[in-house]
Amino acid sequence: MPAELRIGSGWDSHAFVPGRPLRLGGIEIAHPSGLAGHSDGDVLLHAVCDALLGAIGAGDIGSHFPSTDERFRGADSSTFVRHALHLVEAAGWEILNLDATVILQTPRLGPYAARLRESIAALLAISGSRVSIKAKTPEGLGLPETAMAQVVILLREKQP
């Protein structure tokens, strides 16, 4: 019998604010502003977390890490992804691939593409060849002060 597959989708957005470092995909990126949020504001990792949780029907990032909980103020978003990955593995699933799109006007992510892919692959303990990170600009949408991320993840039931 073939292994069962599941798809998870995640999406997040945050506004840019001065005085914070910009964290995307678990790495710091040179930019004069960072992203607002209760945690470190890493929209890419937040979308990864939601995709993992969604694929196993385990709610969303806010149900596991509410913004009203002071324990998560300024938290490194990789903590959220590790928690979601633990739930995925405990439920008997493994990641086949992840496809992500980051939408923002600036900074340009081309110089960071390889590091972003390596960071997410390492966090998820999968090969970099199973991770795709794309960057797009929100042309014509009038969103120069916003960063968004969309993630799709494919899981396979682990075979005994």
Distance CA 72, CA 70 (A): 5
Asked if 94 and 156 touch (Cβ cutoff 8 Å), the reply is: yes
Per-residue confidence of the chain (160 residues) as pLDDT tens digits? Answer: 677 999 999 999 999 999 999 999 999 999 999 999 999 999 999 999 999 999 999 999 888 887 887 888 878 999 999 999 999 999 999 999 999 999 999 999 999 999 999 999 999 999 999 999 999 998 877 778 999 999 999 999 998 7
Q: What is the pLDDT of residue 68?
A: 80
Q: Domain total for the chain? A: 1
Which pTM value belongs to this model?
0.94
What would the two tokens of residue 63 be?
Answer: 């149900």
- What type of residue sits at position 38? H
Q: What is the pLDDT of residue 160?
A: 76
CATH classification of the domain holding 109: 3.30.1330.50
In 106-145, the DSSP E strands lie at 131-136
Q: Estimate to the nearest angstrom the gap between the alpha carbon of 43 and the chain centroid.
A: 6
Range of the domain at 49: 5-157
What would the two tokens of residue 150 be?
Answer: 């969309």
